[in-house]
Amino acid sequence: MFVPLWLLVGMVAVIVLLAGALIRKGSADDMISRQRRDAPPARTVDEAALLALPEVAEALERGNRIEAIRHIRLASGLGLKASKDLVERHTRR
């Protein structure tokens, strides 16, 4: 029985590609778990001190939450979501 060479080469190529994809999938999971394990611990911030900053307090008194978020981000280095959550927790009280 005759099997064309191009068909054999194609089947081998598909098998190699599938094997490579399976190997890469396993190593990506390992890399992500290693990055999570080696990540520095989350920073804790003093929320009361940040909200007591004069520019933050003035912005909140004026009702300008966006400006307050901007000042908190500049003062603490927090991300946008963390700063926004802090301001929203304070304004709900």
- The per-residue pLDDT for 27 is 59
- The per-residue pLDDT for 90 is 92
- The per-residue pLDDT for 25 is 66
Residue ranges covered by each domain of the chain: 47-92
Residue 14 and residue 27: Cα distance in Å, rounded? 20
> Please, what are the averages of pLDDT over each run of 10 residues along the chain (93 residues)?
86 91 68 82 86 96 96 93 94 83
User: Buried b / exposed e across 33-64, counting CB within 10 Å, b at 16+?
Assistant: eeeeeeeeeeeebeeeebbebeebeebbeeee
Q: Is the pTM for the entire model greater than 0.75?
A: no
Distance, C-alpha 29 to centroid of its chain = 16
Residue 34 and residue 52: Cα distance in Å, rounded? 38
Candidates 58, 62, 61; CA nearest to 71 is: 58
